[in-house]
Every structure is written in structure tokens, then in C-alpha cells.
Amino acid sequence: MAYADLRDYLATLDRSRKLFRVQAEVERDWEIAAVTRRVFQRIPERDRPGLVFDHVKGSDIPVTVGILGASREVYALALECRVDEIADRWAEAQDNPLEPELVASGPVKEHVLLSDQADVTALPVSTWTVGQDAGPFLTAPCVVSEDPETGERNVGTYRIQIKEPRKVGIQLSNPTRDMWTHIRKNEEHGRGTRCAIVLGADPTIGLTSVARIAYGLDEFAVAGRLRGAPLPVVKCETSDLLVPASAEIVIEGEVMCGVREPEGPFGEYTGYMSDSGDSFVIRVDAITHRDKPIFHDFFSQMPPSESSTIRGTGREMAIYKHLTRDLRMPVTDVHFLHAGGGAAFLAIAMRKKFDGQPLAAMWGAWSVDPSLSKFTVVVDDDIDVRDTFQVLWAMSWHVQPQRDVQIIQQTPPVPLDPSLAPADMARAVRRGQLASKVGIDATRKHAYPARSVPPREHLEEVDRRWERYGLDPRYLASMAGAR
């Protein structure tokens, strides 16, 4: 059954033991980022919870982070499905969108702050890469706007820089972002672009907002099908835009016509700082929020992150589906390695039927999105592609580079890949430069000798007797996390 709102979803995460509430008081300008970084570094993905910081110094608003992408199990909970059903859920929702339902009012209107009552600096906004980010940023904004000619709605996640109580910056990485078209069309007529920034809603809103959905296809309608019920929406106070009726917080405003101001830098999903430059500016006209609102963030920057899980999970499921169902290849698993931010590095496991089939699998994966998978490695199905060590082991001993490595020229680049150009040239480069890819066939091409490990029954017997060897329990704990 559809989650009613963010709170309903948090309760489900809690029941599924996928939510941890941090009771200690934390500071928003450095500590939330550092605690979350440690959680993502130290807790293996399958055990990793989403977080709620209940006590943020200087604010009575709790902060939640990691709740859509702490792991792929958490991502599946957000979609109320199993991990292996994720690709089907997305396909079905885009084929059969379900229109939102306009309601008269909702909890998001419990507090209405107009003009000078609205103050974005009162929100518990974190600084994510301290000492390098230009300031605090909203990392999970779902920005609603409309095409002024067709009235088609768009919802997209574009980082928002807090600047003044009633002024924020917004960064659209490139003109392919759907909101860019709305801004351009309005500016051609000397008009600003009305927008509403939704913070904290039922999980399908955040997931559709970061997903690439065709221009003109309404993210709220895709979310409606994902959640299995029309999304209740209410009208904004200062425009005709519609927003989820039970959102935690909505910031209403306008992208000011022709105005550009310095924005960034900001720590990016690649693990490097992004460039900075002139970008769009939003004048804030109102804030509406629920009683005791909860503030929602995505955790990005250096992988592993929530961002690498969200990017990787959706994409690997789409590629797996294409390879197995459309192309009927004997592929057993597909994984975007976290080190590549869920974008740059793809590993495919298959039970190949003939030599050369691994190359066909690579071409199949590249055809789904030619900008991704700068490194694509195909391994036999006895290799666990979610275990980076095993992937590197297969690359070490199953590959003769001259025979097994292909370099493909003139492909679209992985978004924000810092290897393309020095940072000061990155924006210009992004507008046109092509890149290249490596495909590595790391399957065995002939019969191999047996592996040089003890018989399985000996290792299992040692596991059963483990305590008697008296090894420090700390080693046991770290082994439990290892595959």
C-alpha cells in the first residue's frame, strides 16, 4: 500500500530495522556530514541503515539522510518491492503514469510563511564538504516547474545553495535538464520561472525527481504509479504550481529572469569538487511546512554514498533487464561499482555460451546509456560482481590485454568525469567533448586448473570451530562484514 508521506515511510524503515535514530546532539555545519560519511564507510551496504538526527543544535527540526539509498534493500523498500523487481517497477510506472489528485488542503499548509516571514536560513541545512563547498546546500530538493507553452510539469533534483533568507542559487548541470527548457522559454519573453522546492515527501517523489524521465512525462504521475495510488497535491500559495499535500516543507519562489550569480563549488558524486560558475538564482516568496517538520537530505560526494547506490541500482537493473529479456543473454548479475559513483565502472557476470559473447554483452550495456560504463568488465558467473576483490582477481588472471581489452573511441562522457579536462575548462568541455571507453573480457577463454584453496569442507569445519582458535572478537566482527 502506498506510503502516505515521509513519516509513514520512516516508520516502515524502522520496523524493517533499516533506520537508526541518532540521539546525540549534532552540529549541522560539519557533524551531520562527518557522521554520515563514517556510517557509509564503516557499515557494509547490506547492514547500512538510513539515519535520523533527532537533535540538531540550534534547531528543533530533525534531519533525515540516507533513507532512499543507504543500500539497494532500502531502495527496494522505498518502492515496496523486491530488489529483483526494481527494473519492472520503473518500466511499468513510465508506461502507465497515474495522474495526481488535487485536494483542497493538506498538512503542508499547517504553517504558511509569506514574503519576509519566509527565511531559508532558519532550516537546518548542512555543509557537506566543509572548507570547500561554497556554503550550506539543500541536497534533496524536488524542484517543481512548468513549461510555459505546454503547461507540462517537471520535477527534478538540482542542488540549491543557501545564500540569503530569501535568496538561493540553483545549479542545472547542463541544458538537457528539463527545467532548463522552462527557464529558457520564459526568459525569451522576459519572464521569470515560478518554482516550488519540495523537501521531504513520500519516497517515490525523491526517486522520480532524480530519475531521467522523458521530457513532458510528469514525475508526479510516474510516482503515482510507483506508489500505486494517485499523489494528493495542493496548490501553492504564490503560484498555480501543485505540490504534494503531505510534504514536510515547500519553498515557493521564482527563478529570476536573466539573473546569474556565482554558484558552487560543491563536492560531487565522483569524489571530487565540482567547478563553480555563474548560475540561476531563485527569489523565495513563501515557505509552507507541516507541524514539527522533518528535513530531508541526500548523501552524495565521495562514494560509497547514497548517490552511488541510487544511481547504480536503477541503472544496473535496467541493463540487467535489457541483456536478459530483450537480448536473451545468459547474464547472471550486473553491478555498477561504488568506486565509480554508480556510473563509471560496470561489471557483468555471465555464463557465456561462446567466445565473443562477452563483447556482445558490453555492447548491449553501452546501448542502454552510452555515457555510462567507462570501464566495463565481463566475468564468468562464479565471480561475485558485488565483491570488488573478486572482480580484480578475475581481471588479474583471466585477461591477456592485447586479446581481451577493447578501447572504444568517440563515446559520450560520464557526467562530471574530472579526467576529461582541468576544472577551469570543465563546463566548456561538457558541452561537446567526446570520450572513450574500455571493455575488458575477463571470462576464462580455455580450461583452467583448479583453484589453490583448501577443500570447502575444511573451511566450513574451521568456521564451526572458530571460537576455539581464540582469535580476537574484533577480527570476527570485521570478518562478518567481508564476503
Residue with smaller CB distance to ligand FMN, 140 or 394: 140
Residue 284: name the closest of 311, 249, 313 by CA.
Answer: 249
The CA distance from 48 to 20, in Å, is: 9
Per-residue string for binding with Mn ion, 164-193, x by CB under 5 A?
A: --------------x---------------
Residue 112: name the closest of 325, 293, 268 by CA.
Answer: 293
- Identify residues 307-366 at the interface with ligand FMN (CB under 6 A): 307, 310
Residue with smaller CB distance to ligand FMN, 9 or 298: 298
The single residue among 31, 45, 146, 178 that binds ligand FMN, judged by CB under 6 A, is 178
- Identify residues 397-456 at the interface with ligand FMN (CB under 6 A): none
Per-residue string for binding with ligand FMN, 356-395, x by CB under 6 A?
A: ----------------------------------------
Write down the residue that cell numbers 519492472 correspond to.
88
How many residues of this chain bind ligand FMN (CB under 6 A)? 18
The CA distance from 205 to 199, in Å, is: 10
Shortest reach from residue 310's CB to ligand FMN, in Å: 5
Span from 21-29, 213-221, 228-236, 369-377 in contact with Mn ion (CB under 5 A): 213-221
Shortest reach from residue 176's CB to Mn ion, in Å: 10
First-to-last C-alpha distance (Å) of the chain? 34
Shortest reach from residue 215's CB to Mn ion, in Å: 6
**Contacts (Cβ under 8 Å, ≥6 apart) of 442:** 377, 378, 379, 383, 391, 394, 395, 398, 399, 404
Q: What is the DSSP letter of 49?
A: P
Residue with smaller CB distance to ligand FMN, 140 or 245: 140
Per-residue string for binding with ligand FMN, 139-168, x by CB under 6 A?
A: ---------------x-xxxx---------
Q: Does 300 bind ligand FMN (CB under 6 A)?
A: yes
Task: 20-24: list long-range contacts, CB under 8 Å, 24+ apart.
Answer: 20/49, 20/50, 20/51, 20/52, 21/51, 21/52, 21/54, 22/51, 22/52, 22/53, 22/54, 22/55, 23/54, 23/55, 24/55
Q: Does 210 bind ligand FMN (CB under 6 A)?
A: yes
Query: Is the dihedral angle over the CA atoms 162, 168, 174, 178 positive or is it negative?
Result: positive
149 contacts 184 by C-beta, under 8 angstroms: no
Q: Does 31 bind ligand FMN (CB under 6 A)?
A: no
Span from 81-89, 166-174, 212-220, 317-325 in contact with Mn ion (CB under 5 A): 212-220
